[in-house]
Chains A and B, each alone.
Chain A
Amino acid sequence: GENVEQHPSTLSVQEGDSAVIKCTYSDSASNYFPWYKQELGKGPQLIIDIRSNVGEKKDQRIAVTLNKTAKHFSLHITETQPEDSAVYFCAAWNFGNEKLTFGTGTRLTIIP
C-alpha cells in the first residue's frame, strides 16, 4: 500500500518568514495530493491540492510543488502569520482504490 512520509514533525518560524513542509510517497499510482490544516479540536481543512498532471500550484501565500519522478511534494507558506500556526498534513490519494493516505503531520508554530 501507499506510504507517505512527512518532514519535519515540528517547525518554528518567525512571523513574516517562509515555511516549507516536505512529503514523499511510495505508490506511483497516486494522482492527487491535498494538504490539510488542522487546528486543535477541529477537523482537517483543505487548504490546497495538486493533481499529478501539474508541477506547481499557488493560492495567495500558499503554494504546492510536485515532483512525480522523485515522488515528493512540498507545501510552501510565505509571509507567515500567527494564524498559520496549526498542524499540517499532507496526503496522497489513489482514485483507483479511493484510499487517502496521510502523512504524520507537521506542527507549525509562528513566532510573533
Chain B
Amino acid sequence: GAVVSQHPSRVICKSGTSVKIECRSLDFQATTMFWYRQFPKQSLMLMATSNEGSKATYEQGVEKDKFLINHASLTLSTLTVTSAHPEDSSFYICSAIQGGNEKLFFGSGTQLSVL
C-alpha cells in the first residue's frame, strides 16, 4: 500500500509551548488529508479535513485557533498544537487519500505528552 510518513513519533513539551506534527505522502499526491485524535483504548476521532491550497475544515468542537492545520503542498500537511496544555496530551494520527483507487492510508501516529 501507499506510504504516509508522520513525524515526530513522540514528543514531550512544556505547557504553553507549540508543537508541530508533519504528515507526508511519500509515493503519491494527496489533495485531501485528515487529522485524527485518539485517546487510550478508544476509536479515532476526526479533528479536521485538510485540503491542499485551502483552509482546513474542522469538526464540531475542535478549536481551529488551537489546532492549526496547513496543507501547503500535495504531499505535506502539518498540524500545530498551539499553547499546548496537559489536556492536549493524546495520540495524533494523520491520513491521506490515495487518488485513483480512493483508499485511505494512515501515518504511524504522534504521541504528544504535555507536562
Contacts and interface: CB of A to CB of B under 8 A. Distances in A.
Interface of A: 32, 34, 36, 41-46, 49, 89, 93, 95, 98-100, 102-105
Contacts of B108: 42-43
B43 A44 contact: no
A43 B104 contact: no
Interface in B87-115: 91, 93, 95, 97, 102-109, 111
Q: Specify the main secondary structure of chain A where it touches its partner.
A: strand
Interface of B: 1, 4, 6, 32, 34, 42-44, 46, 49, 91, 93, 95, 97, 102-109, 111
A104 B44 CA distance: 8
Given A32-B102, A46-B103, A93-B104, A103 B109 contact: no
Contacts of A98: 32, 49, 97
B103 A49 contact: yes
Contacts of A93: 104
